[in-house]
Amino acid sequence: MKNPRHLLKKLWVLLVIGLLLSGCGEVSFQNRPEAALERIKTRGSLVVAVSCYPPFVVFDPAVQQYSGSDILLAQAIAQRLGVSLEIKAVQFTSLIPMVQSGQSDLAIGAIYITEARKAFVDFSQPYRTTGIVLVTRKEWLEKGAFHFTGKVIGVKTGGKSVRAAENLKLSQRNLIVKSYPEVEEALIDLDEGQLDAVLNDQWHQLEYNKTHSGLMIVGDRLTSDSLGVAAAKGNQDLLELVNQVIDEQYRP
């Protein structure tokens, strides 16, 4: 008579093999990074996470539509894939998690390419050069040069401006940094005199100043950075397609 324990062990091995060859194997295939293009085409839509940040991403509530330079890039990528474009608007700090969790295929919206972010997502090649600038009220500059000592400066939570502010604190005495979920909130406080300055993206600030003439950029950029499109780790096929579109849209 065969050992019952031996029979149970053989049954357990057969059960594990069966599971690997059934539905569990299919789920594993669907989660493979190289299946990204196939999933998008099968779904029939490219899901892109964005954060409203003129002139990159602009939302018009009157017509419930998005526009801006980054939206044009997203539309071009969807067109190349032959699918529709689905926009998911979130706060800036949620852009990277949206890609990581698979809730979006890509994230676009003035995302600075940094080594810290590369640890969590992969980036396309740069499509625009930008940087952080210091912004204050024009009337204060007319009274003399801007001094950092004892000043309160606003930054956007999770943005490159946070690191720029940390670097400033290393050399400036008694500098106070206040974080905001969105930089527009900081700019409103600056306009109302509740802040002394704001650190912001150069392109965004130039756009903002068109309708807020009381604010002014001080000096040159504090940093030199590049913007990129973010995708989940390992989605190189998708990023290669994105890079092709960037070459066509942004290269002479």
> What is the set of domains in the chain, with CATH numbers?
29-128+227-250 (3.40.190.10), 132-223 (3.40.190.10)
Mean pLDDT of the 33-56 span: 91
Instruction: State the pLDDT confidence band at 10, using cuts at 50, 70 and 90.
Output: low
Distance CA(187)–CA(210), nearest Å, equals: 13
Mean pLDDT of the 233-249 span: 95
Mean pLDDT of the 53-74 span: 95
CA distances from 192 to 62, 161, 212 (A): 27, 21, 12
- Assess whether pLDDT exceeds 60 at residue 199: yes
Q: Please write the tens of the pLDDT for every residue from 115-132.
A: 999 999 999 999 999 999
Dump the DSSP string for the chain: ---HHHHHHHHHHHHHHHHHHTHHHHHHHHTSGGGHHHHHHHHTEEEEEE--BTTTBEEETTTTEEESHHHHHHHHHHHHHTSEEEEEE--GGGHHHHHHTTS-SEE-SS-B--HHHHTT-EE----EEE-EEEEEEHHHHTTS----TT-EEEEETTSHHHHHHHHHHHHSTT-EEEEESSHHHHHHHHHTTS-SEEEEEHHHHHHHHTS-TTEEEESS-S--EEE--EE-TT-HHHHHHHHHHHHHHH--
* pLDDT of res. 30: 41
Where is pLDDT greater, at 67 or 36?
Answer: 67
- Assess whether pLDDT exceeds 80 at residue 2: no
Instruction: State the pLDDT confidence band at 148, using cuts at 50, 70 and 90.
Output: confident
Dump the DSSP string for 75-125: HHHHHHHTSEEEEEE--GGGHHHHHHTTS-SEE-SS-B--HHHHTT-EE--
Mean pLDDT of the 206-230 span: 95
Mean pLDDT of the 50-57 span: 95
Pick from 9-18, 47-56, 117-126, 204-213: least confident: 9-18
Distance CA(66)–CA(2), nearest Å, equals: 71
Instruction: State the pLDDT confidence band at 25, using cuts at 50, 70 and 90.
Output: very low
Do the bridges between strand 132-137 and strand 197-201 make them parallel or antiparallel, or are there none, so unpaired?
antiparallel
* pLDDT of res. 9: 54
* pLDDT of res. 32: 56
* pLDDT of res. 7: 54
